[in-house]
């Protein structure tokens, strides 16, 4: 079991768009395994590669602790692209391993269609709703350099400003390994 340090809000890699996965080899498979170890250690349900210092366009999800999703097990999405969104939106609270100790209500479509590649780089399509759709959208946003805090009201953004700065400055307690604060040049 290898735990990867999680990048936190303010780290440059989280603001960049991910690059396409073109090859699945032992190194990538080991990295994905480490991603699952890291996510589970931090009690997460989804993790994008850039959250653990990789520019690969991939994210993982595991909602098996939720009864209705237990049959899905561990899910891996390479080169994902959201194709369709439902007209119905729902508001639910979200959190993020890269933004520890902060939660906020976010409006998102209740259902999505995700087109992605599996570990054989074969094209797949997944229709998802409710929690799975929310986690997919959250992790997909990471690959585009978007945080859930970018989707809250201006009032909420002002309320979170100091807490987000504290995360950037690493003035937080975290129960899992995180990247060290970058020194200014």
In a domain, 84, yes or no: yes
In a domain, 185, yes or no: no
In a domain, 93, yes or no: yes
Give the pLDDT confidence score for residue 183 in this predicted structure: 67
CB-side exposure of 101: number of CA atoms within 13 Å? Answer: 14
Nearest alpha-carbon partner for 125 in 139, 111, 113: 113
In a domain, 114, yes or no: yes
Q: How far is CA 122 from CA 22, 28, 80, 118, 165, in A?
A: 11, 16, 12, 6, 41
CB-CB neighbours of 26 under 10 Å:
7
In a domain, 85, yes or no: yes
Beta carbons of 60 and 46 less than 8 angstroms apart: yes
Q: What is the dihedral of CA 8, 70, 111, 147, to 10 degrees?
A: 0
Domain that holds residue 113: 12-168
Q: In the predicted model, is pLDDT for residue 184 greater than 70?
A: no
In a domain, 6, yes or no: no
CATH number of the domain where residue 67 is located: 3.90.45.10
Give 49-71 as a 3 state SS string. Answer: HHHHCCCECEEEEECCCCHHHHH
- pLDDT for 133-160, tens place per residue? 999 999 999 999 999 999 999 999 999 9
Structure tokens at 164: 């987000």
The yes-or-no answer on residue 105 being catalytic is no
If pLDDT is split at 50, 70 and 90, which confidence band does 8 have? Answer: very high
Give the C-alpha separation, 6 to 99, whole Å.
10
By percentage, how much of the chain surpasses pLDDT 70? 98
In a domain, 98, yes or no: yes
- pLDDT mean across residues, the chain: 95
Q: In the predicted model, is pLDDT for residue 169 greater than 60?
A: yes
Give the pLDDT confidence score for residue 182 in this predicted structure: 75
In a domain, 163, yes or no: yes
Beta carbons of 11 and 96 less than 8 angstroms apart: no
If pLDDT is split at 50, 70 and 90, which confidence band does 185 have? Answer: low
Transcribe 7-27 into DSSP letters. P-TT-GGGGS--B------HH
Total number of domains constituting the chain = 1
Q: Catalytic residue among 68, 83, 127, 139, which? A: 139
- pLDDT for 41-91, tens place per residue? 999 999 999 999 999 999 999 999 889 998 999 999 999 999 999 999 999
């Amino acid at each position: 079991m290898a735990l990867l340090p999680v990048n936190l809000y303010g780290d440059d890699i989280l603001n960049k768009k991910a690059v396409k996965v073109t090859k699945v080899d032992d190194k990538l498979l080991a990295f994905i395994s480490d991603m699952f170890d890291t996510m589970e250690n931090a009690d997460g349900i989804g993790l994008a590669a850039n959250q653990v210092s990789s520019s690969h366009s991939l994210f993982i999800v595991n909602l098996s602790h939720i009864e209705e999703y237990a049959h899905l097990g561990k899910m891996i999405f390479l080169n994902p692209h959201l194709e369709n969104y439902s007209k119905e939106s729902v508001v639910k609270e979200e959190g993020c391993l890269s933004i520890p100790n902060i939660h906020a209500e976010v409006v998102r479509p209740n259902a999505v269609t995700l087109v992605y590649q599996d570990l054989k780089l074969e094209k797949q399509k997944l229709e998802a709703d409710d929690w799975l759709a929310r986690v997919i959208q959250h992790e997909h946003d990471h690959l585009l350099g978007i945080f859930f805090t970018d989707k809250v009201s201006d009032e909420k953004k002002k309320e979170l400003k100091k807490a987000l700065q504290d995360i950037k400055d690493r003035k937080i307690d975290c129960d899992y390994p995180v990247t060290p604060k970058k020194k200014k040049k």
